[in-house]
Amino acid sequence: MYSIGEGRTSRGSKCNLTNSIYSPPFVLQAKTIMSQAENEVNVTVTIGDVKVEFSGSAETVTASVMNFLLKEVPSMDLARKILLNYAAQELIETYSHLIKITPEGPRVILNTDVKLSDKDIVALQLVAARIAKDLGRLQDNSMQVSDIHAATALNPKSISSRISEMVKAGHVARDEKEPSKYRITTAGIHWLNSTIPKKIRPGQ
């Protein structure tokens, strides 16, 4: 259930009342604007990244909002089951024990008892760059081989070979504007999510 704010004003004045009702997975904001000449209701419905506004009489807006919710919410719920995307918060929660944002930039910092392959470390460094970009610490989430070498101290030849392997697998992609730079792909993060837990015990 949701309610729309109501208000009464003196002749010729306006009253703006806003109510926010949160009931996952959508947020409904309703604003009532009343004046001498009109009684208009404005409603904004936000579902994830989708934002829709309705305005008009209370009866019209109520019907429109209900029709929208009945038609769109089931399809959006269905779409969520097939969409794959990793937000910065999710990446931080998953890799905060392996990745740190330092004054020198994003870095892969491992405990001495953690053993990962060069490919794992390169992929993690690219994830670190993506997190830093999403947090506003970097302007770009792609890196050159020399950048990865400077951050990880891995052999440049090994970095190049591992990147070539990951590009072929679709786990890393070349930057469209600067082909010498590389970024982690969504498929690459998905692969890394399944690889790292097998190599690191809880608490490491």
Q: At what angle do helices 186-199 and 156-169 cross, to 10 degrees?
A: 120
At 108, which amino acid appears?
Answer: V
How would you list the strands of the sheet with 50-56, edge to edge? 15-23, 26-34, 39-47, 50-56
Confidence check: pLDDT of 178 > 80: yes
Residue labelled with tokens 């399809």: 75
| Band of pLDDT at residue 6, cut at 50, 70 and 90 | very low
Which of 12-21, 71-80, 173-182, 194-203 has the least mean pLDDT?
Answer: 12-21
Model pLDDT, residue 33: 47
Closest by CA position to 122, among listed 137, 106, 139: 106
200 vs 2, residue with greater confidence = 200
pLDDT digits (tens, 9 = 90+) for 11-65: 333 333 333 333 445 554 544 444 444 667 788 887 766 788 888 887 788 888 8
Contacts of 10 (CB under 8 A, 6+ apart): none
Give this prediction's pTM: 0.62
Query: 85-96 pLDDT, tens per residue?
Result: 889 999 999 999
Window from 22-36, 123-137, 164-178 with minimum mean pLDDT: 22-36
Residue 4 has pLDDT above 90, yes or no: no
The mean pLDDT value for 174-196 works out to 94
The mean of the pLDDT values for the chain is: 80
Supply the DSSP symbol for 104.
Answer: T
Share of the chain above pLDDT 90, in %: 50
Q: What is the mean pLDDT of residues 69-96?
A: 79
